[in-house]
Amino acid sequence: MIDRGKIQVFPTATALYHGAAAYWVRIAQVAIEEAGAFHVALAGGNTPKGLYQLLAKEPYKSQVDWSRVYVYFGDERYVPKDHPDSNYRMARETLLDAVAIPPKQILRVRTELPDPQSTAADYAQVLQSHLPAGRNFDLILLGVGTDGHTASLFPETSILTVRDRLVAAVYVEKLGGWRISMTYPAIERAQRLLFLVTGVNKAPVVSRLLTETKSNGFPVQRLRAQGEVHWYLDGDAAREWEMSK
């Protein structure tokens, strides 16, 4: 059951993005003050674009010491880095090109490697060598699909049972393509998870996630997070849940 005390509903997607940007800035400042760096994993897809665009502009941009930010990716499509479907490309165009993060601190998934499996193994090594021991991610951004997936942890795929690796390759049959994704163990150890969910098409899955006391098989319900988990919903995504209360 999701902690309702960690759920915030915003009237619009724009309001949600501003709330998420303020949260990002606050957590980045705390991490940099306490440990000298902010380690964050980005989400792909359409929902986080609005957040990234805000962070690239004032008043948020100047509130973060971007030279101390380390950027990772929760998942990636197995496509070239300049492909329209690339999560890295989306993040670069909306945020990374606009802020002063040292290139060596933008830790993308190297999809130019020969196959998905070697790409996943390579990115697992990246996580192991760059994340601070005992601290792990300060923040991982996540979304939820209409089928209850998060990152590339899709229903009825082999990655759902992977517990011995931080990153795995998974073929998603219904999408006809390979994904590289952090596994449950990598996500669960983060200090904070922030789910961003917008749109009326997400209302049915949100309602079920927030009201059902037993797992119904949605991949996101299998997460056993060790840190804080926050849910930011816009009014459309929260509609059915709020009507059921």
Residue-averaged pLDDT of the chain: 94
Q: What is the pLDDT of residues 95-133, one digit of tens each?
A: 999 999 999 999 999 999 999 999 999 999 999 999 988
Q: What is the pLDDT of residues 51-106, one digit of tens each?
A: 999 999 999 999 999 999 999 999 999 999 999 999 999 999 999 999 999 999 99
| 8 A C-beta contact, residue 173 and residue 167 | no
Predicted pLDDT of residue 4 = 61
| Section 201-219 average pLDDT | 85
Report how far residue 61's alpha carbon sits from residue 7's, in angstroms, rounded to the nearest whole number.
Answer: 26
- How big is the CA angle at 184 (ends 173 and 145), to the nearest 5 degrees? 50
**pTM, entire model:** 0.96
**3 SS3 class:** coil
| Section 199-206 average pLDDT | 96
| Section 163-172 average pLDDT | 97
Contacting residues for 18 by C-beta, under 8 A, at least 6 apart: 54
Q: How far is CA 44 from CA 13, 132, 211, 242, in A?
A: 16, 23, 26, 27
Confidence class of residue 205 from pLDDT cuts 50, 70 and 90? very high
Query: What's domain 6-244's architecture?
Result: 3-Layer(aba) Sandwich (3.40)
